[in-house]
Amino acid sequence: MLAQPHRSSFSRRGFLVASAAAGTGLGLASGPARAATRPRPFGRFGSPAARPTPGTLYVHPGGAGDFTTVRDAVAAASGSGHTLVIAPGVYRQTVAVDPSRTEMTWIGASEDPRDVVIVYDNAAGTPKPGGGTYGTTGSATTTVQADGFTARWITFANDSLRADHPGITGTQAVALKVQGDRSAFHHCRFLGHQDTLYADSMALGTFARQYFAHCYAEGDVDFVFGRATAVFEHCRFRTLNRTDLSAAPYGFVFAPSTAGANPLGYLVTGGRVSSEAPDGAYKLARPWVPSSDTTARPMLTVRDTWLGPGIDAVAPYTDMSDAYPWQSMRFAEYRNTGPGALVSVPENRPRLDASRAASHTRDTYLGDWRPCA
């Protein structure tokens, strides 16, 4: 995403392992999280001694599994159809699932996403050991390029903070970049600040379908963005406070970059958008038309969703570039509620009628793919 100049912000990092409601700082020390001392670190998902399938691999930071890191487990899981059962712990590492490792599943063994945290702190402007910087894509803590990927009860995080690196202007810091088709995330968390969740595809002409159910994402600038066809069902989004800024907007929840040839972009349904920032400090969305695809026509439909007071109800959309006004893009709403959904300036709130809304559903967006619950 495009960089914006910022003064230093945020001294806290504890939100990355605290529950969204806790609001207190917990450290990101490496090693087991609070549930690692349970007598059955892999819960109901077997163990190395009771492996349900040959393709099931176990990750435990203290050595009770097949591997102590997620990265090593992925490297060993060549081919298709592997399952990683991950014991509670904070795994400070970058992880990449390349296109050859298809149909892979990651399971947080405690069935609580707060217990399994995969986190690193690269930003776009972070210097690379061999020279240059990582860029937005390279900043990702976890990158998933393979088709058929599923994750359950995992936290994906990037804890790079602007205040820690005042000399870095490229503050985009991706927690998860997912590019594969048929990618599903259930009860997962995506934590960061700018560019937290990058829901994208492998190439401009590739339409990747992704499904996020009962998930939680938080951030500030464009923290859900990309060109995938992505459905966010019963998900929660939370905008963070910005002590480094003196005036709104503090940021933008969504920044889709849907290809012009793709009839379907982002769908948010049955969700909730809350904020710890002042009322009206955030825009709901702005369109991203990247320099690599100036024909993009970003698409976002938000329906049956509660929009809290943190969203600017008068003008919830804005431009990222004057050359590509949001009014020329594919933004729409339907039956939203809450103070951020109040319609006071109708021309600023593009809305669907019931007949058009009937085509903006999970099944329409995902086509012949039906991710399991």
Q: Read off the tokens for 85.
A: 């059962």
Whole-angstrom distance, CA of residue 202 vs CA of residue 179 = 5
The pLDDT of residue 39: 72
Catalytic, out of 66, 121, 159, 222: 222
Residue 79 CB-half CA count within 13 A: 6
Supply the pTM of this predicted model. Answer: 0.92
**Cβ neighbours around 301 below 10 Å, total:** 25
115 catalytic? Reply is: no
Average confidence (pLDDT) per 10 residues, the chain, 373 residues: 40 43 33 53 97 97 98 98 98 98 98 98 96 97 98 98 90 98 98 98 96 98 98 98 95 98 98 98 98 97 98 98 98 98 98 98 97 78
Catalytic, out of 195, 200, 220, 312: 195
Q: Give the chain's radius of gyration (CA, Å).
A: 20
Q: How far apart are the first and last CA of the chain?
A: 32
66 catalytic? Reply is: no
The pLDDT of residue 372: 78
For residue 189, which of 230, 153, 240 has the smallest C-alpha distance? 153
Which residues, including other chains, have CB under 8 Å from residue 8's CB and lie 6 or more apart? 162, 163, 166, 244
- Matching residue, tokens 């026509």: 297
The pLDDT of residue 14: 52
Quote the Cα angle for 18-23-28, to 5°: 35
Whole-angstrom distance, CA of residue 300 vs CA of residue 230 = 10
Helix (H) or strand (E) holding 255: strand 251-256
The pLDDT of residue 4: 39
**DSSP secondary structure string, 320-360?**
SSTTS-GGGSEEEEES-BSGGG--SSGGGS-B--HHHHTT-
The pLDDT of residue 32: 40
